[in-house]
Structure 1
């Protein structure tokens, strides 16, 4: 193969959250976008595009790829479409994780089943269809428990229950929370034992079944008893990157899921008994984690994802060792009507990297639980030699958000 290989990119997401991935990939690969609409901000990074009304239509996408004739790989980081894209790779005979492996990540009950069969450390989990079944499962597991949707990600619909009254109060929240493109299951809620301890995530690239960590992030959670993701911190020198217990669980998890070629975002809790797997996503992490990972280490997760999608060695390597973080900002009260929004940047520390307002004037936003990830007001990022400097910069930048309502 000569020149830049052609990669079929299925969906892109929000520019502020995913634009940096296209910046990484476009210089070395020809990106052909499949999207329901015409390209907008993506256009400068593309070699071509095809309007595709339904990104779950594997047959239509297969026809497009065959018409192009020289597609070397397919790529997707949108949770809603990772399974159709895995099937597309199989239909085209291209490298990929395998649709069975992706399905086992997409369906959290299948994840638990596969990991249990392999003896991978994880919370005890019971699939339930009703409040009565949830109460019975929680009584057997022992409180506190976690109620969790079977088919979502980003902590959507996840809630802790400390007593039977909490299970009864929050069951509908776990059952009914959904997003566009999420599969619907008749039995859709997991009751799980609560894993106490700090939460981390590992974005890894998998090539021929070999798992290579790229970005390890420490998660900041809030709005208990919910598990809203408020931010992440990446330290290129984090000792967990060399922790054999974490690395062993990561390898065993991918072996259990039979995940072959692609990228993953694995979330773990560091309990007193050791790391346990919370979930595995068959894509790059969201929430700017690959971005701050790159800022801290020099790794280019988007480029690694494109390489392995084409059957190439990802060549992951670090060229720096600093710290980067992201913090997400929320409305102070339910049903906040936003008239103006922006940041006052004067006087902010040099470590502040980005200050981005996502919410638009004229919209209404609420904090969790009424509001979700999709109602964040914006985010800030920072980069510095130490975690303390990054945290201080994030605090300052968060305080610089100005909203009138």
Structure 2
């Protein structure tokens, strides 16, 4: 089914593939709709999205790049499309076939697959001499044990094709590796990928590099990478790498740090990224930045929203402009500090009765309080729950990390979670595991 509404003819038409959860992505669609006419490819008739879009096409799948390309050609023949955008990790590769079919920016499936397949990412960066952890692709426990012996414990086990730190675990020795290998090898994302990652070597055994872990959201135009904001990760539930929060400082000194800027550019050049919004993750080691991974999309976990609050730079509009070959506005309008914290239950298989925040008396720095888990949901903390175990989150904006942290602490105290077994306390990763 296709529904096309007339546009004013003045705004570029942007084709958006899927939207994701309204809770996490509506702000992007709202911003883009202020400057672009939006046509949505989706698997269901849009609901909340209709407020921001000019038309839509319902498809059997948004994971089938070839079929979406055919639908895009038909749309383009009727109304010329200026750009194609997707921020869903599982669909960015299929979307690149759409851009390629229309001769638009980011239409390079091989490049996007190089980003999605972390094994290929490592190979390309090794060939270019970009600093990164040593990494060995393996398929069996015996191969993993042998690779870990060569690299030296502790090591990281990582699936080669998933995001959001799914399946990632630190192991201290051979016994721990043996205990956790099946956890990593069996990790799955929310959607099956139409082009499977290497079944011969589905797991990466990687050198553990230590330091502060950051993310860099950047725009890339004609091969030049420009960072817009830096996310400082808060990780919990050791030895698993669950991302339980982030802080973004609009005046972060890393935005002008020569070593990080060089590493960012060298990484994108080595991977062949020409035009895109990317979300890269680095470990700031004593020897300099070490690339952990690159994602060919806007960051998740509400990080782009934190960047918007911290700098005034609109990530939705910037990504849309890059997709259409237009110059984005990257100059910050202000500089603030923002933060997000995710909350979890403390017991596996908790059936939720209600999740709510008591908002009276909370600090002014609290920007947003969001309950994620609906009544009746069965959730678990990591490692069983991982990202899908989150029941709520809070966002704060202030003049310092300390102010944001205090506001998030107050939000945590104000969170009331009730299970069908009775009242329970929601916990976030640091308090559960003592830091």
1:7 maps to 14
1: distance between equivalents of 2:66 and 2:208? 41
Contact 2:337-2:404 within 8 A present in 1 as well: yes
1: distance between equivalents of 2:348 and 2:167? 18
- Say if 2:39 is the partner of 1:32: yes
Q: How far did residue 86 of structure 1 move?
A: 1.0
Structure 2: any 5+ residue segments left out of the alignment? 1-7, 420-435
Contact 1:97-1:259 within 8 A present in 2 as well: no
Give TM-score scaled by structure 2 length. Answer: 0.92
Q: How far did residue 97 of structure 1 move?
A: 5.8
2:123 maps to 113
Q: How far did residue 100 of structure 1 move?
A: 1.7
1: distance between equivalents of 2:109 and 2:411? 42
1:154 corresponds, among 164, 176, 194, to 164
Contact 1:211-1:254 within 8 A present in 2 as well: yes
Q: How far did residue 85 of structure 1 move?
A: 0.8
2: distance between equivalents of 1:184 and 1:53? 23
2:185 maps to 175
Q: How far did residue 271 of structure 1 move?
A: 0.6
- Say if 2:283 is the partner of 1:269: yes
1:394 maps to 408
Superposed CA deviations along residues 37-83 of structure 1, whole A, max 9, x for unmatched, are 01011110000000011112223322322222311111000001101
1:64 maps to 71
Superposed CA deviations along residues 124-146 of structure 1, whole A, max 9, x for unmatched, are 00000111000000001001100
1: distance between equivalents of 2:395 and 2:280? 22
Superposed CA deviations along residues 153-172 of structure 1, whole A, max 9, x for unmatched, are 11000000100001100000
2:141 maps to 131
The 5 Å alignment of 1:266-305 reads: 266-305=280-319
1: distance between equivalents of 2:197 and 2:226? 33
Contact 1:202-1:215 within 8 A present in 2 as well: yes
Q: Helix, strand or coil for the counterpart of 2:331?
A: coil
- Say if 2:25 is the partner of 1:18: yes
Q: Helix, strand or coil for the counterpart of 1:103?
A: helix
2:103 corresponds, among 82, 87, 93, to 93
Cα RMSD for the two superposed structures: 1.2
1:73 corresponds, among 83, 90, 102, to 83
2: distance between equivalents of 1:263 and 1:303? 11
Contact 1:147-1:190 within 8 A present in 2 as well: yes
Contact 1:98-1:260 within 8 A present in 2 as well: no
1: distance between equivalents of 2:101 and 2:19? 22
Give TM-score scaled by structure 1 length. Answer: 0.98
Structure 1: any 5+ residue segments left out of the alignment? none
2: distance between equivalents of 1:401 and 1:145? 36
1:313 maps to 327
1:375 maps to 389
Contact 1:81-1:181 within 8 A present in 2 as well: no
1: distance between equivalents of 2:64 and 2:368? 37
2: distance between equivalents of 1:68 and 1:127? 41
- Say if 2:48 is the partner of 1:41: yes
Deviates more, 1:299-308 or 1:180-189: 180-189
